[in-house]
Amino acid sequence: MPCKPDWNIGYTTREHLCLDLDNTSVTKVFNLIDMLMQNYPQLGNALVLESSSGKLCEKWNYLVSGFLEFHVKRSNYHIIFNNYVGYEFCCHVIETLAELGVINKEYIRIREMRNDMTIRVSQTVNVEGVKQKPRIICLIINPFCEQKTAGIYRFLRLFKLCL
């Protein structure tokens, strides 16, 4: 039986963009990265992690109102961009994505409340059980800009400590 962790470890930054995408297809993740790299080339390269894998689950939920709702559960992903662009610019990108409906508008409120971006790097316990440590999927090189800083490297240093 795997042991359950007593605490969670998260990577926190105010310097480079980190996105937490829940219930998302991997296709949407790669399309989003491509769009961001073209429209905001200063973000730099992108590291993609699967933060929790879920088998594709499709089901109908019966709501209290008497209506049926179709629900699809997919995996969750983290995207870590490399270049330091500052917190204000990161918030601008997040607000734009929320207005476009790419991410939940609640994400803006959470950023305003926390005043940072935090990505989980350890396993964690929730109501569904133990979520394993995020798994690195790939590094996507941004052909639209040069790499100026080392946000991904800083993230990976903490990520490796949690092995």
pLDDT, averaged across the chain: 85
Q: How many domains does the chain have?
A: 1
Domain-located, residue 2: no
What local confidence, expressed as pLDDT, does residue 138 receive? 95
Domain-located, residue 139: yes
Domain-located, residue 110: yes
Is this model's pTM higher than 0.85 or not? no
Confidence of residue 163 (pLDDT cuts 50, 70, 90): low
What local confidence, expressed as pLDDT, does residue 96 receive? 94
Domain-located, residue 36: yes
Beta bridge partners of 125: 130
Query: Which of 36-45, 46-55, 110-119 is most confident?
Result: 36-45
Domain-located, residue 122: yes
Which of 87, 58, 105, 66 lies closest to 151 in space, CA to CA?
87
What local confidence, expressed as pLDDT, does residue 46 receive? 96
For range 132-151, the mean pLDDT: 88
Q: What is the pLDDT of residues 78-114, one digit of tens each?
A: 999 999 999 999 999 999 999 998 888 888 888 788 8
Domain-located, residue 26: yes
DSSP letter at 132 equals P
Confidence of residue 5 (pLDDT cuts 50, 70, 90): low
Give the DSSP H/E element, type plus range, for residue 97: helix 87-99
CA–CA separation, 127 vs 60, rounded Å? Answer: 21
Which of 99, 102, 96, 162 lies closest to 134 in space, CA to CA?
162
Confidence of residue 1 (pLDDT cuts 50, 70, 90): very low
Higher pLDDT, 110 or 60: 110
What local confidence, expressed as pLDDT, does residue 63 receive? 72
Reported residue count of the chain is: 163
Confidence of residue 139 (pLDDT cuts 50, 70, 90): very high
What angle is formed at CA 161 by the lines to CA 159 and CA 162, rounded to 5 degrees?
A: 70
Domain-located, residue 148: yes
Question: Which structural domain range is residue 49 located in?
Answer: 10-161
Domain-located, residue 3: no
